[in-house]
Amino acid sequence: MDITKDKLLEKLEFFSNFKFNKNYNDLTKEEKFVAITDSIMALTSKDWTDQLGKKARQRKAYYFSAEFLIGRSLGNNLLNLGIYDLVNSILEEKGDRIKDIENEEEDAALGNGGLGRLAACFLESAASQGFNLDGYGIRYSEGLFKQFFKDGFQAEEGDDWSSFYNPWSKRIVSDEKIIKFKNQTVKACPYDMPIFGYKNGQINRLRLWQAEAVNEFDFNRFNNFDYDGAVREKNEAEDLTRVLYPNDERREGKLLRIKQQYFFVSASLQDIVSNYKKNFDDKEFKHFHEYVSIQLNDTHPVIGIPELIRILLDEEKISFEDSFNIARKIFNFTNHTILREAMEVWSVDLIDETSPRVLEIIQMIEQRLVEELYNKGFKEEEINFLRIVKDDSIHMANLAIFVSNKVNGVAELHTNILKNETLKDWYGAYPYKFTNKTNGVTQRRWLIYSNMELSDFIDRKLGSNEWREDFSKIKELEKFAEDEPSIREFLEIRKKKKIELTEIIKETTGIDVDPNSIFDVQVKRLHEYKRQLLNALHIVYLYHRLKEDKNFISEKRTFIFGAKAAPAYFRAKAVIKFINEIARVINNDKDIDGKIKVVFLENFRVSLGEKIYPACDFSEQISTAGKEASGTGNMKFMMNGAITIGTYDGANVEIFEKAGEENNIRFGKTVEELMEIKPNYDPYKIYQEDIYIKNALDSLMSGEFKDNESYMFLDIYNSLLKSEGGDRADRYFVLEDFESYRKAQEKISEVYKDEMRFGKMCLLNIANSAYFSSDRTIREYAEEIWKLESHN
């Protein structure tokens, strides 16, 4: 791709005139964003088209995911195309700042947390590594939700991210598919987004499906004054792709979710099959597996397994035996959690209402499973445990494991737990299926783009920018970990990023924070096992001690939170309210002289993360050991030099291994230790005997922090001290790990006081972060599971 200054200027003026009837200089910032993006798309479209044709007869992998949390695209795309500086200079000549234009882009509301961000990193890494990997997902019109706080409570509103115009998406009407549910038929219309590789010319594709009505408007109904009825079919179709993870507390929500999943996998599989038929004369699909590999990202797309068999069996007239064997060769399954409640289970009647034929095929697969296990010598009770259809329900993880060619966990500890505990019986039956693929994140988004100052520093120190393409070279930064001038230069960059974040905090919350204070950050999805509550209770402890002794804290502390709670997750929303109450009380208490500040940033998202990760001093990765499959925020923090304070959980284990425990702060019980104490665990005894815990916990009930009579704080209090509904008290060992966490937090102050020690620890974390690049992860997938060759 030859994108020159003259070509860009020509396209900018063309699209300014064509789209808005204005010259470029007369455009609003939002219009300038559109003109720039349209120019980039126009200048790259022929290459993209040529590559689509070239790849049509090459082996390709497809990533099926309910989420692709891609964030904003402009800056990252310019970076990967190698024209970021060129566009910046053009805009500066016109009196603009590129960052202002980038801020006009809405984050694409196509995901929620780590699972979706991982999918986005994988697509970008695959393109940058030269692998043919396309993504398939859903084009949500309202996303998850936009979060805001009202009196400290989380409130939600729709995230209409594409309402103005999304220049990165191409609507390809000619590739529409028809999706037939039991009682509804809809169209799936594809929107294609380019995924640019880093300076290698490769363009992969993310294809997102939008649901539309077959007949959008019933004129006769309208003419007979049934105005709602005239557009009912349109609204019911569009509901399928309106919201990510619709509330499923009631049956209607569950049905919408499973239909949503079936909608996108059916459209995607129809697309793959149609393209194969177009390019190959193979009516029996004997070579299909030689050109197609599909990765199922968690259980959401698993209904694609019986759907592919349905397509081959019913539409292509392939026998069940052959269709089943084809499916076994091309599907692979990533498990993202050991939490059983997150391994989807759907009632038989919901699958039947979605697609009766798919239910029949699941039952046929179930019969095959039972036969295989009998032949392996399994007993009846062992087989019953592994059944796909049991208790009038469909167990999607069992379906995925049985049919998939490979099953992977996403961190060494997580995979070992799958093999030895959660999926022990499956591992016993099919050990050759199981493999580990520790997650990674793309350094181009999370270091090179998000922290350009640090990236330039690394260029200077290493004497080249080769590390940007071969991230293993970042290891060479180790030699500067003892060099005082380098450490001081690094700390100045960190200070700059902290100042930038303080300006965002002031602008969005009105809170003044000191950039010289310790930035202690926990940003991630709000869930009990991630233990934002442990962090909050410790802040209450610090506050109470500081009230007693004004010299108790020597280093100022700023605690920064960002997290969304699922709309129906009462206790998670209670924790948000609790943290916001802590912030209200502490931030307004003049007696503590600003030694503690607490900030909860609204609507945590990719573009906000790009500002937070480079400014963090200490990264809170404090989930209960054994509960976090991997985590990816921990990797983004590490790449930017933050020190991890964390449990021996998820990818923390490998972070401690690669960068050294001496350069991070570990605390808390291990998985093995928790298993040992679990049968006799008594949190109430800890509460009675530890005055610090008691004081912090009692604040929930004392009126010091107010929950507006919502009973939220009572719910938190009871969850820690009382067994409820079959769940033991303190399911996630918050009180058990509190004392260890308290001591670890003391170490934070000790480390931060010594600038050279702190800077050294930070640099050694960056230098040892190469393992956590998604480039490494994607190479392992491509070589060991998908069997792809790089085209670099």
Annotated catalytic sites, by residue? 336, 524-525, 530, 632, 636
C-alpha distances (whole Å) from 652 to each of 136, 665, 705 are: 30, 10, 33
Cβ atoms of 85 and 619 within 8 Å: the answer is: no
- Neighbouring residues of 7: CB distance < 8 A, sequence distance ≥ 6: 43
Provide the residue type at 304 as one letter: G
The single-letter code of the amino acid at 433 is: K
Q: Which residues contact 746 (CB under 8 A, 6 or more apart)?
A: none
Q: Which amino acid is at 610?
A: E
Residue 653, judged by CB atoms within 10 A of its CB (0-12, 13-18, 19+), counts as: buried
Q: What angle do CA 335, 741, 579 make, to 5 degrees?
A: 80
Structure tokens given for 485: 């001038």
Gap between the Cα atoms of 334 and 355, Å rounded:
24
- 105 in helix, strand or coil? coil
| CB-CB contact of 434 with 470 (8 Å) | no
Specify the residue for token string 């997580």. Answer: 414
CB atoms within 10 A of CB 34: 21
Strands 389-390 and 393-395: what pairing? Answer: antiparallel
What is the rounded CA–CA span in Å between residue 655 and residue 643?
A: 10
Measure Cα distances from 565 to 70, 464, 524, 527 in Å. Answer: 20, 43, 10, 7
Q: Are 574 and 781 in contact (CB under 8 A)?
A: no
Angle at the Cα of 27 (from 24 to 29), degrees rounded to 5?
A: 115
Q: Is the dihedral of CA 482, 483, 488, 490 positive or negative?
A: negative
69 neighbors 143 (Cβ within 8 angstroms): no
Polymer length of the chain: 792
Alpha carbon distance 155, 72 (integer Å):
23
Backbone Cα Rg of the chain = 27
Q: How far apart are CA 402 and CA 347, in angstroms?
A: 19
| Distance between CA atoms of residues 619 and 790, nearest Å | 35
Other CB atoms within 10 Å distance of the CB of residue 461:
17
> Closest by alpha carbon to 261, among 216, 309, 211, 313?
211
Find the distance separating the first CA and the last CA of the chain, reported in whole Å.
15
Which residues have CB under 8 Å from 710's CB, separation 6+? 153, 574, 577
Is residue 165 within 8 A of residue 34, CB to CB? The reply is yes
